[in-house]
A and B are shown apart, each in its own frame.
Chain A
Amino acid sequence: MKRIKTPLHILAILFVIFTAWALRSRALNNLSIDFDEDDYLRAGQEYTHLIQTSNWSGFLETNYRPEHPPLAKIIIGISLLSVPEKPLTPEAATSAGPNNYLPRDLVHSARTVNAIFGTITVAIVALINPLAGLFLAAHTFTIKYVSQVMLEAFPALTSLLVVLSYLQWKKGKRSKLNGWLILSAVFLGLTAASKYLYCVVGIAILIDWYLDAKEQDTLKTSLRTIILWGVLAIIVFFAFNPYIWTNPILRIGESIFYHAGYSSEAVEVQNAAYPVWQPFFWLFFSPYWWHEGVFPFPFDAFITILALFGLKRLWSKERLYVLWLGIAIAFLLVWPTKWPQYIITLTVPLTIAAAESMFLLRDNIFEWWKNRKTQDKVHYSKTETHRVLPWLIPGLIAFAVLTLFPLIFQFAVSMTDFNTTSIRDGFNGGIWRAISGGLTGEIPVTPADIGTRSNQVNFVGLSLYPVVSNFIAYLNGGSVLFFNIMWTVLSVLLQCGLGLAVALLLWQRGVRLGKFWQTLFILPWAIPEMIGAMMWVNIFQPDWGWLYLAVDKFGPDSLFGTFTNALDKSPSLWLVGFLLPAMWYGFPFMMLASSIGLKTIPKEVFDAASIDGASIWQTFKYVTWPLLLPLLIPAIIVRGIFAFNQFYLFQAFGFTDATLATLSYNVFNPTNGFGRYGGQFALSAAINILTIVILMIFVILFNRWSKAGEGVTYA
């Protein structure tokens, strides 16, 4: 924890705490009753009753919804002591909808206590880093779930404290058990006694400790300490979990096995049918769209994107936070139940990483400013500036006519409601009338209308942009932007992986048929993209694709049948149907780039490595990969841009789910996502302008991200 330095710092922290509380109290007053709130309120009421009747032995047998340990529920119970007791909330199946008849005063009281814990969490984060605190304060999913009668607020706080106390211990004598480590264990126990999921911090700490001990070579001496830490945590868990005192093994077993059964059998989990990547989606989503007027702005996606850029810096500063984030995400990906509240386990490290990226940005701007000053000294000679004009002017005219003008015109079109109904008017001067009239203020602004299509072109100002931004961020349970980013990352990873693997195989000395294989593998790259897409459609098309014809022939119980059956049910697998072709297209390019790169590495390096007795894996990890990576980065960027813009593949598949396709595809087919909006020309233009803005951000970020990226721009 950094020392508090200046009054400004204190002011910043106070501001963050104030913001956090303001947003949370607004949420707790305005949020509608959600799923599960009735269950936890009932659980709390039972404890309230026990306390008020001083029936302490009742704690041994009371734990409504025993799949979650009782501590967070007991806290809800304590929070209800101040309000007059009400009849017990009726029991309901887990699949039941929200119970809107809950007594408001009870709900308010329980929510308030949770929100206080939520605010304390923010306050502690703000002490480490006020900016991270601010991000956490504004993170809408966090606000939502710590301001409801849920079990998130308390374990979110204690899991943070586990990490902070452990870090304090790490600063001091690492091998001894001291106050900080004991504190950390206690908090871990409390976390476990509230909600198991939050114990992922424990795993993160174990890994961090292991890495640390390995570096310091204190594995043996500190092993005892860390075991003590674990045992202590388990003891605290027992102490604060009276429900398991009478029959520990059975009841712990029950609560854990419940989760396994729940995720595979419960109706609501089955109905939600979330794909594997749903946790990522939640990170890019915001409950802003669920609860109107409760949250100021859907900050979540921005925080997540910032966090991605801050990870590297955070790792070098304090890797435990990154481990925490990584393990929590990995766990959520594997865990079959994917409720949005689970991401509260990782919003603290997420916001800390996001804050790091802001510092990174600050440093970059600072550096740019310094460089700018030195650049200013570079004198542009007048003669050279004169000499460039004859070259610049004709080129600029052509570029302006063919490229810039269409883009500017596009922006103008996005401020109208031009569509197929108004096409006649538009082509007879309607577009000019609307744009020029609108911009000079002669024609009033007609807000973009849903559903109606006028046969005249109207000026709608910038009112299409909120509609389209919403559409890109969130559309019927999916998100185009999120899909596009995930698509880019996954397809580039797969292409790189296969391309590099093949290049390494071919690069071994004395491989037979090397030329033959290389020529064969180039084919997918050489085949025009749309013909390649057609080839894959010929396999995956549901009516006449090979795969489905094979099902007809071999029956639904064959391997093909099982596969297509799974394919039809799950969006995660549909993604495979797109990723395979993407990998097919892209890996030859990466293979060639890797082969060329491998040839530039002098053979002596490898001879030296083999003399030193390095294994194949060690040679790759310490010699080949570090030397190869810088050569691959331009190729990776090219493939990334290509994947981000991928269009023909989705177009050829003729798949109409707008949220399972790239932005480019939606520019071409705005009506898939927008069937109920008029003005598809204008919509397409607006989606496109936003796409360009997103690309612009990426270009600038990647430019900063790597030296190779700088090469792409300034070479």
Chain B
Amino acid sequence: MHKISFLRQFVTQILLAIVGFFVILPIWGIIRLAFDGSLRGRPTEFRLLPKIWSFDAFLQVLDKPYQSVDFIILLKNSLLVSFGAALIAIVLGMSLAYAFARFRFPGRQIGLVGLLLTAVMPPVAFMTPLYILLSLMQIRTTLMALVITYAAFAMPFCIWNMRAAFQAISKEIEEAAFLDGADDLKTFIYITLPLALPSIAVAGLIAFLMAYSEFTLGWLFVEKGDNLTLAMAIYAIVQSGNAQPWSYLGSLALIMSIPVVVIFIIFQRTLLERLMFGDAQ
């Protein structure tokens, strides 16, 4: 293959710019909202650029984004719920993942198909039963309920992913440790787990992001403002219509997205492989 000609380079750049326009257009819409200091409610006229450039919305949102709830509280709730859910899903799912990765036992095949099935189910599949069950336990409106719900969403996927990660580690290493007299648990803790840790961390990251950006079920469960997460606050601004300037919506969305975007850009390749159920290799 030769380097491409000038004409081809030109056409390529034009085509890429068109795709770039398609990618940027909706993002720009939100950026425009975020920086527009003239908004008093919903946007009412067509503009490409903000009418009055202003950073106020960001300051306001970083203080009290929704009603009188502090940003810090929302952030804390978001992190608590997301970390909690990811941790539960990873820790509780780990032993099952290892069992399916390393051992042959009767019923393994059917178990695998069952696992896959739960991993491909939509998150809303768990909505109705968890709503009723958590209501019955009278903890539905607490942050604990959100942790449990999001952990239930993420667990099948995490199990599936960790299984692939454990399987990717060569069995010989484990067998060597086993021959040296280590039992299963020791082998797992000292040999397998450290080797699989990066992949497990990525699976955890995906579970974290699931919980981090979830809002509809959150709104179904939570009633008190103190228990809101950031994602729920964004949705609340949309639902509240004209009550608040929509620059809040834009700035909050940007604040929420930027860390995630950075993580994705850094870890793009690993994330991609994990998201393909660990089978991209």
Q: Report if A596 contacts B (CB, 8 A).
A: yes
Complex interface bits, A687-708 against B, C-beta within 8 A gives 1, otherwise 0: 0100110011001100100000
A392-B99 in contact (CB<8A)? yes
Structural contact, A549 and B43, CB atoms closer than 8 A:
yes
Residue A544 interfacial (CB < 8 Å): yes
Which residues does chain A contribute within 8 Å of B215, judged by CB atoms? 530
Scoring B27, B116, B129 by chain A CB atoms within 10 A of each residue's CB, the highest score goes to B129
Q: Are B238 and A534 in contact (CB under 8 A)?
A: yes
Question: 1/0 contact trace for A370-406 toward B, CB 8 Å?
Answer: 0000000010110011011011101110110011011
Within 8 Å of chain A (Cβ to Cβ): is B156? yes
Which of A634-671 touch B at CB < 8 Å? Answer: 634-635, 638, 641, 644-645, 647-648, 651-652, 663-664, 667-668
- Selected contact of B276 from candidates A521, A593, A607, CB within 8 Å: A593
Cβ-based interface call for A538 (8 A): yes
The answer to whether the Cβ of A208 comes within 8 Å of any Cβ in the partner chain is: no
Kindly state whether residue B224 has any CB partner on chain A within 8 Å. no
Q: Does B236 belong to the interface (CB within 8 Å)?
A: no
- B155 within 8 Å of A by Cβ? yes
Q: Does A297 contact B (CB under 8 A)?
A: no
Cα distance A542–B234 when bound, in Å? 20
B148 touches A535 (CB 8 A): no
CB distance from B23 to the nearest CB of A (A): 6
The answer to whether B272 and A531 touch across the interface, beta carbons within 8 angstroms, is no
Report Cα–Cα, A525/B263, bound state, in Å: 12
B155 near A403 with CB under 8 A, answer yes
Give the A-B pair count, Cβ closer than 8 A.
Answer: 293
Looking at the complex, which one of B103, B104, B260, B279 makes contact with A527 (CB distance below 8 Å)?
B260
Does A668 lie within 8 Å of B127, measured CB to CB?
Answer: yes
Inter-chain CA distance A641–B125, complex, in Å, is 14
Instruction: Tell me if B53 is interfacial: C-beta within 8 Å of chain A.
Output: no
Given A380-B104, A681-B132; A592-B268 close (CB under 8 Å): yes
Q: CB distance A520 to B24 under 8 Å?
A: yes
Q: Is the CB of B1 within 8 A of A607?
A: yes
B95 within 8 A of A: yes
Stretch at the interface among B12-20, B56-64, B66-74: B12-20
A498 to B9, CA, bound (A): 19
User: Within the complex, which residue of B23, B45, B130, B235 is in contact with A549, where a contact is CB–CB below 8 Å?
Assistant: B45
Contacts of A426 in B (CB 8 A): 132
Q: How far in angstroms is the closest Cβ of chain A from B35?
A: 14
A493 to B99, CA, bound (A): 37
> Does B26 reach chain A (CB closer than 8 Å)?
yes
Roughly how many angstroms separate A388 CA and B104 CA in the complex, as a whole number?
8
| Contact-size category for B | 35 or more
User: Which of A33-41, A255-263, A509-517 is the interface stretch?
Assistant: A509-517
Q: How far apart are the CA atoms of A530 and B22 in the complex, in Å? A: 18
B33, B135, B280: the one contacting A596 at CB < 8 Å is B280
Asked if B104 and A384 make an inter-chain contact with CB atoms under 8 angstroms apart, the answer reads yes
Question: A403-B156, A524-B23, A668-B127 are known contacts. Are A508 and B261 too (CB-CB below 8 A)?
Answer: no
Q: Are A391 and B184 touching (Cβ within 8 A)?
A: yes
Chain A residues closer than 8 Å to B54, beta-carbon distance? none
Q: Looking at the complex, which of A89-97, A126-134, A350-358, A407-415 is the stretch in contact with chain B?
A: A407-415
List A residues 491-532 near B (Cβ within 8 Å). 498, 502, 505-506, 508-513, 517, 519-532
Interface of chain A, main secondary structure: helix
Q: Is the CB of B129 within 8 A of A413?
A: yes
Query: Does A536 belong to the interface (CB within 8 Å)?
Result: yes
Q: Does A539 contact B (CB under 8 A)?
A: yes
Least CB separation from B25: chain A residue: A539
A712–B238 CA distance with the chains assembled, in angstroms: 39
Q: Is the CB of A398 within 8 A of B1?
A: no
A528 near B256: Cβ-Cβ < 8 Å? yes
In the complex, whether B225 has a CB less than 8 A from a CB of chain A is: no
Q: Which residues of B contact A703 (CB under 8 A)?
A: 113
Once the chains are docked, how many angstroms separate the CA of A635 from the CA of B148?
A: 29
Known: A513-B13, A517-B20, A536-B26. A589 touches B156 (CB 8 A): no
Q: How would residues 150 to 186 of chain B score, 1 for a CB under 8 Å from any chain A CB and 0 otherwise?
A: 0110011001000010010000000000000000110
- A505 cross-chain contacts in B, Cβ below 8 A: 12, 15-16
State A704–B43 Cα separation when bound (angstroms): 51
- Once the chains bind, are A402 and B280 in contact (CB under 8 Å)? no
**Residue A1, interface by CB 8 Å:** no
Q: How far apart sit A387 and B183, CA to CA, in the bound complex (Å)?
A: 10
CB-contact partner of A510 in B4, B44, B96, B249, under 8 A: B4
Partner among B122, B136, B264 whose Cβ is within 8 Å of the Cβ of A647: B122
Question: CA–CA, A647 to B42, complex, Å?
Answer: 24
With CB as the reference atom, state the residue of chain A lying closest to B164.
A715
A138 to chain B, nearest CB (A): 30
Residues of B within 8 A of A603 (CB): 1
Q: Is A711 an interface residue (CB 8 A)?
A: yes
Check: B221 CB closer than 8 A to any chain A CB. no
Which of B26, B263, B276 gathers the greatest number of chain A CB atoms within 10 Å? B26
The yes or no answer to A15 lying at the interface (CB within 8 A) is no
Known: A395-B93, A681-B132. A528 touches B213 (CB 8 A): yes
Chain A contact-residue range equals: 35 or more
A290 contacts chain B at the CB level, 8 A cutoff: no
Complex contacts, A396 vs chain B, CB 8 Å: 96
Closest to A385 in B: B105
**Per a CB cutoff under 8 Å, which of A378, A511, A596 touches B4?**
A511
Assembly CA distance A180 to B62 (angstroms): 81
B-side contacts of A513, CB under 8 Å: 13, 16
State in angstroms the CA–CA spacing of A395 and B123 once bound together: 20
Contact with A along B261-277 (1 / 0, CB 8 A): 10111001100100111
**Chain A residues with CB below 8 A from B231, complex form:** 528, 530
Q: How far is the CB of B61 from chain A (nearest CB, A)?
A: 14
Q: What 1/0 flags go to A471-500 for Cβ under 8 Å of B?
A: 000000000000000000000000000100
Q: Does B203 contact A (CB under 8 A)?
A: no
Min Cβ gap B98→A in Å is 5
- Say whether A508 contacts B4, CB under 8 Å: yes
Alpha-carbon distance A534/B43, docked complex (angstroms): 14
Query: From residue B256, how far is it (CB to closest CB) to chain A in Å?
Result: 7
B143 is an interface residue with CB less than 8 A from chain A:
no
Knowing A549-B43, A695-B121, the reply to whether A409 touches B132 (Cβ < 8 A) is yes
- Any B CB within 8 A of the CB of A543: yes
Would A684 and B127 count as touching, CB distance under 8 A?
yes
A406 touches B124 (CB 8 A): no
A535 touches B19 (CB 8 A): no
Q: How far is the CA of A584 from the CA of B24 in the complex (A)?
A: 10
Q: Are B125 and A692 in contact (CB-based, < 8 A)?
A: yes
The interface residues of chain A lying within 8 Å CB-to-CB of B42 are 543-544
Q: Is the CB of B95 within 8 A of A391?
A: yes
Within 8 A of A (CB), among B197-243: 209, 212-216, 231, 234-235, 238
Task: Return the chain B residue nearest A540 by Cβ.
Answer: B26
Which parts of A536-565 form the interface with B (CB within 8 Å)?
Answer: 536-539, 543-544, 546, 549-550, 552-554
B279:A410 contact, CB within 8 angstroms: no
| Contact (Cβ within 8 A) A398 B96 | yes
Not counting A409-B133, A584-B23, A712-B116, a sample of 15 additional A-B residue pairs whose C-beta atoms are within 8 angstroms of each other reads A392-B105, A402-B151, A402-B152, A402-B155, A406-B130, A406-B152, A523-B23, A526-B264, A531-B253, A531-B257, A635-B280, A638-B277, A647-B216, A651-B216, A667-B127
Those 3 A-B pairs whose CB atoms lie nearest each other, nearest first: A395-B96, A528-B213, A526-B264
**Interface residue ranges, B against A (CB under 8 Å):** 1-4, 8-9, 12-13, 15-16, 19-20, 22-27, 29-30, 33, 42-46, 88, 92-99, 102-106, 109, 112-113, 116-118, 120-133, 135-136, 148, 151-152, 155-156, 159, 164, 167, 184-185, 209, 212-216, 231, 234-235, 238, 249, 253, 256-257, 260-261, 263-265, 268-269, 272, 275-280
Chosen A-B contacts, 27 in total, with CB atoms closer than 8 Å, are A381-B104, A394-B95, A395-B99, A398-B93, A406-B129, A418-B132, A431-B132, A502-B19, A509-B2, A510-B3, A511-B12, A513-B13, A528-B231, A528-B256, A530-B234, A531-B30, A535-B30, A539-B25, A550-B46, A607-B1, A634-B280, A668-B216, A681-B128, A681-B131, A699-B120, A712-B277, A713-B113
